[in-house]
Structure 1
Amino acid sequence: MKLWDNISLALKGGGGSLRPPLGRSYIAAYGGASFSGGAPSSYVEQVREAYAENPVAQRAVRIVAEAVADAPLAPMNDALAGLIAADNEGQSLLETLAAHLMLHGNAYVQVICGADGRPDALYTLRPDRISVEADETGWPVAYLYRAGEHQTRFPALDAMGRPAIIHIKTFHPTDDHYGLGCLGAAAKAVAVHNAAAQWNRALLDNAARPSGALVFDPGPDGGVLSTEQFDRLRAEMEASFAGSGNAGRPMLLEGGLKWQSMSMTPADMDFVALKAAAAREIALAFGVPPMLLGLPGDNSYANYREANRALIRLTILPMTGKILKALSAALGAWWDDTRMRVDRDQIPALSEDRASLWKRVSEADFLSPEEKRAMLGIE
């Protein structure tokens, strides 16, 4: 960032003249930073701004997606277990689906059948490349996948009523065919957080100090800087004082010039609090307690253990359950028993809840042994 990129010269009057009015002082201020523009509108731009460039959003998505992939599953059909555990081009199937649901609100799985007619592999498709084709009544009949100029059409159901594409989506109150992701809700907070980071970098480039000003006093004779003098001063400032590498370098002023430092304004000082508030909004949008992201000033939970329990119960388990139920319902066209669920007994963070349930059920004398086993989920 060049020092003079944000120069504001009071001497630039009508007609673009570099000369100030005679007999008046003028100020050449520089060193500040200005950022404009709102949140990006397209999905690709939002992913770039949030997941690729924002540490809070990326960490929030990865915490949830990786936890979904590592969730302990109850015993299931061996064929289903192999499909779920298989890598999806080097990535976990459940992790990829969870990330797509959080970011886009939609996740698509292509079912690849083998020679025996049963699913041989499950592949995830980029949701931003998929569009739903509906019939005259509004029901989906096909899915169109576009990659560059190539387009592939997948019927919603084959001749035997089995799905070629499994569509998993979150709730969208105003759309019949597509889900609503967290990225749109977090987009403005991400834009604010990224702008705050750019502001801090601009201050570092300016020797970690706020803007200052060169003040020229024309004196009683009303002298002014010529165009040549102004250009020479600008070149010297860029060469000798721009960037953090010249921090603390002494400045030699002459000819009526003096340096006037500008202190941080209340708006500048509020930027730190604004960045922290934006980070908490990002974490809120993705369902991750801010404490787990190391964000200061948020002590909603007594400790990290309670925050972890809240994350598992309110975000990870519902997300995992949604994915497993959708896969189970679709794969039921090939197998009779497609039950897939999370084995909560194997989650250490929920052990206290499980122990409390067992204690209450065991002390209920009015329940029969069969009823107690049913309440505890024991077959």
Structure 2
Amino acid sequence: MRLLQKFLQKPLSSNVVTKSSGFSPIFFNQVFDDCGLSVGTKQVIEKYKVVAPLNDAVNTIANTVGDLPLVVINKETREISLEHEVLDLLRHPNNEDQPTKNDFMRDLTIWKILEGDSYVDATGDVSKPPLELFILKPQFMNIEVGKFGFAEKYTFDGTNSRTITFFKDFINNTITNIENNQSLLHIKNFQPSGSGNNITGMSEVLPLWFDVEQWEQASTHNLSLLRNGARPSGALKTDSTLTMQQRQDLKMFIDQSYQGASNSGRPLLLEQGLTWQEMSMSAKDMDFVKLKEQSKQSIFESLGVPIELKDGNSTFNNKAEAKLQFYEDTVLPTA
């Protein structure tokens, strides 16, 4: 929030570097790790869509950050004010995707957690405070690096043919597009990977990627069991050798008539020469519910969301203490 406040209040110089000092190939914003795990931006977004604990934890943090009241404090007198041009702008950042302060702070926080980067596009005369603020989606931002390894050119290639290029001014430490009267603020996490400068931040999802994968795989496993009547049923045996066509016909018949929850318990009609061999399922085969709970707890803990806030069996005192911990350890540092 301090970085955003400086960005909104600081007059921006028009002395901008508009020519490259030798760009390297475009660096596409992605999440990656040097330890053999390679995770792309698209994968992180897809996990956010389908992995319920990840979605829940990220949204809990982002919505809480968005709900925080904002004030302006005078550095000299330490007086608190609820009226300021910065607060007016944040109360209504733009008329499109983030019409309220809550929407703006929520989106900024979600992208910073998922991608490790948030981009704020400020419109208006670059030498004056912004007129509007927009959150740009990181997956559409391409960064070009100069010969010294620093980011020099930011190109946002979004939907509806909206393409805008920002140039880095190293003297004034600003990123602007003078022609379109737009400025860019890049907020990023620490990035341990890579051999050069930190061009983009590291996703906060990366350290818990295996827990995210485990939860999704366990859900897929449980769904497959449900579709198969919660057990691998058994095996059909015959003394004769079936042709490929007979195998396919038999498999299709079983899929249509006996698989799925709606066919659970339906008696099996066998042709002459076919026998049914019952197969039992061990307790370990059905232990994926416990695995899902463990993965869920690990996801929440890794992102700094106490599981007590989501546990219906928690007492009032436990939830009160967990909420205090959540604000102190996660929400306020994020904001």
- Paired with 1:159 and 1:233, the residues of 2 have a C-alpha distance of 74
Q: Counterparts of 2:86 and 2:207 in 1: how far apart (Å)?
A: 35
For residue 214 of structure 2, what is the aligned residue in structure 1? Answer: 192
Shift in Å at residue 78 of structure 1?
A: 1.7
Aligned pair partner of 1:46 in 44, 47, 54? 44
CA 1:259–1:98: 2 relative to 1, 3 Å: same
Name which of 94, 101, 104 aligns with 2:115.
Answer: 104
How far the C-alpha of 1:253 sits from its partner, in A, is 3.1
Instruction: In structure 2, give the amino acid aligned to 1:55.
Output: A
Among 305, 328, 332, the residue aligned to 2:320: 305
- How far apart in 2 are the matches of 1:206 and 1:180? 40
Partner of 1:270: 287
Deviations, residues 47-69 of structure 1 (Å, cap 9, x unaligned):
11x21111111111110001111
- The CA deviation at 1:45 is 2.1
Q: What is the TM-score of this pair, normalised by structure 2?
A: 0.71
Aligned to 1:359: none
Note the alpha carbon deviations across 1:240-275, whole angstroms, 9 max, x for none.
212222211112335343323322235413322222
Identity rate of aligned residues, in percent?
30
Size of the aligned set, in residue pairs, is 274
3-state SS of paired residue (1:156)? strand
Q: Tell me what 1:125 maps to.
A: 136
The reply on whether 1:86 has 2:98 as its aligned counterpart is no
Aligned to 2:231: 209
Tell me if structure 2 keeps the 8 A contact 1:280–1:295.
Answer: no
Deviations 1:283-312 (A, max 9, x none): 13322122323399xx8x971111111111
Q: Which runs of 5+ in 1 are unaligned?
A: 1-37, 219-223, 321-379
Instruction: State the one-letter code of the partner of 2:166.
Output: F
User: 1:188 and 1:171 mapped to 2: Cα distance?
Assistant: 20
Query: 1:157: Cα distance to partner?
Result: 3.8
Q: Residue by residue, what CA displacement relative to the aligned partner does 1:184-218 show, whole Å, maximum 9, x if unpaired?
A: 223322222111111111111112333411233x4
Which structure exhibits the higher relative contact order, with contacts defined as CA atoms closer than 8 Å and separated by 6 or more residues? Answer: 1
Q: Aligned letter for 1:156? A: K
The normalised TM-score by structure 1 is 0.63
**Partner residue in 2 for 1:141:** 152
- 1:276–1:295 contact (8 Å) kept in structure 2: no
**Structure 1 position 239, deviation (Å):** 3.5
Structure 2 equivalent of residue 155 of structure 1: 167
| Structure 2: unaligned runs, 5 residues or longer | 1-35, 72-80, 176-182
2:67 maps to which residue? Answer: 70
Residue of structure 1 equivalent to 2:330: 315
Q: Which stretch of the first structure deviates more once superposed, 71-80 or 142-151?
A: 142-151
CA contact 1:39–1:191 (8 Å) conserved in 2: no
Quick one: which amino acid aligns to residue 63 of structure 1? Answer: T
Superposed displacement of residue 116, structure 1: 8.5
Query: What whole-Å deviation, never above 9, does each CA across 1:29-56 have from its counterpart, x for those lacking one?
Result: xxxxxxxxx98732112211x2111111
Aligned partners of 1:40 and 1:187 also within 8 Å: no
The answer for the alignment partner of 1:167 in structure 2 is 186
Aligned partner of 1:177 in structure 2 is 199
1:70 deviates by 0.6
Cα RMSD, aligned residues only: 3.2
Contact 1:108 1:125 survives alignment (8 Å): yes
Q: Deviations over 1:334-360 (max 9, x none)?
A: xxxxxxxxxxxxxxxxxxxxxxxxxxx
CA shift digits 1:162-194 (9 cap, x unpaired): 552111111223452211121222332222211
Change in CA separation of 1:102 and 1:161 when aligned onto 2, cut-off 3 Å: closer
The range that moved more, 204-213 or 155-164, is 155-164
The residue aligned with 2:309 is 292
* Contact 2:44–2:114 (CA under 8 A) maintained in structure 1: no
Question: Which one of the candidate residues 241, 251, 260 is aligned to 2:277?
Answer: 260
Structure 1 230/179 Cα, relative in aligned 2: closer, same or farther at 3 Å? closer
Give structure 1 regions of 4+ aligned residues with deviation exceeding 6 angstroms. Answer: 158-161
Post-superposition offset of 1:106: 0.7
1:87 to partner: Cα distance: 4.3
Which protein is bigger by CA-based radius of gyration?
1
| SS of residue matched to 1:249 | coil
Q: CA deviation at 1:150?
A: 6.7
